[in-house]
Amino acid sequence: MLTKKQLDLLEFVNARVQRDGVPPSFDEMKDELNLRSKSGIHRLITALEERGYIRRLAHKARALEVVKLPDALASKSTGFTPKVVAGDRDDTAAPQTTKTASALEIPVMGRIAAGVPIAAIQHATHSVPVPHNMISQGEHYALEVKGDSMIELGINDGDVVVIRETTVADDGDIVVALVEDEEATLKRYRRNGSSIALEAANPAYKTRFFDEDQIKVQGRLVGLIRSY
């Protein structure tokens, strides 16, 4: 039996993983549950882990995986898990979105910086299988993550992120941002008056501010694929 706070936290974490492909930060969990400190979140996470509802990923900062849900939540969940076991693939095949019995093949468009911005998105190099429940309406593509600036959101160097193409973003979305038509980076998007802030999820990286016309949104994060 879970307490109300434990159930509320599990529901919040699961909803955010389903929506964004990554768990919320400890600060976001604290604010959602109206707790005064993150120590309360640590205790709740430990309790959920001991009961087998979540798993902390080893050597990954604040990375959580929802293992199961109680009956009260399971009926409301799509069962999203940010992990894919990829089969053999033909990297020479034409990189396009195709449908298979259990997954969709979407193009991998090179690397994206989760750190200092690197070269803009390249041409498709190969494709990757993605679960159907990770894909919504619209066009999608994947990018290989390079860097650790988003590690506190569970996005690590070497992960593959699934992006839905869009040119608009809401405050707080994790987006692919094209900086001055030259560099692409994966960051949290926020409006700051007349400027745009690109926020990292690692205290080692400073928030960067740009004029609105310097930033073009190329897509929004909808999923994450990790190889173990």
The residues annotated with a catalytic role in the active site are 149, 187
Q: How far apart are CA 213 and CA 76, in angstroms?
A: 40
Residue with tokens 């593509």: 141
For 54-139, where are the E strands, in sequence order? 54-56, 64-66, 98-99, 103-113, 118-119, 126-131
Taking the CB of residue 76, how many other CB atoms lie within 10 A of it?
10
Q: Which residues pair with 168 in a beta bridge?
A: none
Q: Which residues contact 153 (CB under 8 A, 6 or more apart)?
A: 22, 23, 24, 25, 62, 174, 188, 201
